[in-house]
Structure 1
Amino acid sequence: MGMIEIMKKAGMEAVGAANPVNILFGEMISLDPLEVRIDQRFILTKEFLIIPESLTRYDVDLTHDHSCEPGVSGKALFKLVIREGLKQGDKLLLLRVQGGQQYVILDKVV
């Protein structure tokens, strides 16, 4: 690597250090494949996104046995949704990690 390339690299690293993160707004445009549009400028795919557990869907299958009379039993099975997770059309608040290669989805914007 020549002296000019070393100076360019050092300059880029200095700029990055002065501006370690950017806050951006985006919109979930697709879940499969995962795609987020940022400020109408570009689209991020799953390779560039970090999604916290708090924004993933979480549901639980519940079984309840309610016997009312001897010899008679009824079972109810249903899915209880604890967290909806991300959906198409959600407005998102994102952080761009230093270097711009990864984006953390902080939360939904309401």
Structure 2
Amino acid sequence: MSLLKAIKTISVGVAEAGDPVAVLFATVTQTSPIKVNVDQRLTLGSDFLIMLDHVRDLQQGDAVVLLRVQSGQSFIVLGKAADA
């Protein structure tokens, strides 16, 4: 590996480590199989969602809180968002 590629690889790793997770809000658009919509621009299906035991009874229209895992390839559904 060249020095330039090594520096780029290290830079990407440092940048990702600086933002290991992100908190997102989404709306359940479908329940079987589960789909949620984040900010009306990104729809995530069951392949990308990690469901915790206590949030298995979601219904269409429910607001949920998600944690984006560092790689951005999976999202943990923390639970329903409380009404404000």
TM-score bracket, shorter-length normalisation: 0.7 to 0.9
Mapped to 2, the partners of 1:90 and 1:39 lie a distance apart of 14
* 1:3-14 equivalent positions in 2, closer than 5 A: 3-14=3-14
> Any stretches of 5+ residues in structure 1 without a counterpart?
57-84
Bigger Rg over Cα? 1
Q: CA RMSD in A?
A: 1.3
Structure 2-normalised TM-score? Answer: 0.87
| Bigger proportion of residues as strand | 1
* 1:4-43 equivalent positions in 2, closer than 5 A: 4-43=4-43
* 1:1-110 equivalent positions in 2, closer than 5 A: 1-56=1-56, 85-110=57-82
| SS in structure 2 of the partner of residue 16 of structure 1 | helix
Mapped to 2, the partners of 1:7 and 1:42 lie a distance apart of 32
Mapped to 2, the partners of 1:27 and 1:55 lie a distance apart of 13
Closer, same or farther in 2 for the Cα pair 1:34/1:5, shift >3 Å? farther
Letter in 2 for 1:99: S
Closer, same or farther in 2 for the Cα pair 1:3/1:50, shift >3 Å? same
Mapped to 2, the partners of 1:43 and 1:87 lie a distance apart of 16
Mapped to 1, the partners of 2:40 and 2:60 lie a distance apart of 16
| SS in structure 2 of the partner of residue 6 of structure 1 | helix
Mapped to 2, the partners of 1:8 and 1:44 lie a distance apart of 30
Aligned residues between the structures = 82
Mapped to 2, the partners of 1:41 and 1:2 lie a distance apart of 38
Aligned-residue identity in percent: 35
Deviation at 1:4, TM superposition (A): 3.4
> Any stretches of 5+ residues in structure 2 without a counterpart?
none
